[in-house]
Amino acid sequence: NAGVTQTPKFRVLKTGQSMTLLCAQDMNHEYMYWYRQDPGMGLRLIHYSVGEGTTAKGEVPDGYNVSRLKKQNFLLGLESAAPSQTSVYFCASSYSRLEPQHFGDGTRLSIL
């Protein structure tokens, strides 16, 4: 039982490149979330999903897109990476809005 798995764990990009971060959960959770964590800023919600085929914007959605084609997967895309998107990205999932979220171990992304 792996819980929440994020791929890749580390990545370095050049400004303007694109990439996709993958999140997979094996707990049959309906809700999935993408956060970014920056020093002094805490965890901020980028996008979230309340079920397969649905997505919604969080606090800081600009520059990111997401897709939830399968219940167990939630993808975060950067179409044209910018240095301001250098951060640690966390994926989380939960059974419902009121249930605790379970987090992956993060993707450390640097954009030069």
Partner 1 sequence: EDQVTQSPEALRLQEGESSSLNCSYTVSGLRGLFWYRQDPGKGPEFLFTLYSAGEEKEKERLKATLTKKESFLHITAPKPEDSATYLCAVFNTPLVFGKGTRLSVIA
Whether cis (ω within 30° of 0) applies to the bond prior to 83 is: no
- Piece in contact with partner 1 (CB under 8 A), picked from 14-22, 66-74, 79-87, 89-97: 89-97
Does position 69 interact with partner 1 (CB under 8 A)? The reply is no
Q: Nearest distance from residue 98's CB to partner 1, in Å?
A: 6
Distance of CA 24 to the CA centre of its chain: 10
Pick out residues in 41-60 that bind partner 1 (CB under 8 A): 41-45, 48, 58
Does position 22 interact with partner 1 (CB under 8 A)? The reply is no
- E strands along 1-112, which residues? 4-7, 10-13, 19-25, 31-38, 42-49, 56-57, 64-67, 73-78, 87-94, 102-103, 107-111
Does position 40 interact with partner 1 (CB under 8 A)? The reply is yes
Q: Nearest distance from residue 15's CB to partner 1, in Å?
A: 26
Residue 13 or 35: which CB sits closer to partner 1? 35
In sequence order, what are the beta bridge partners of 10?
108
Give the interface with partner 1 as residue ranges (CB under 8 A). Answer: 4, 31, 33, 40-45, 48, 58, 90, 92, 97-98, 100-106
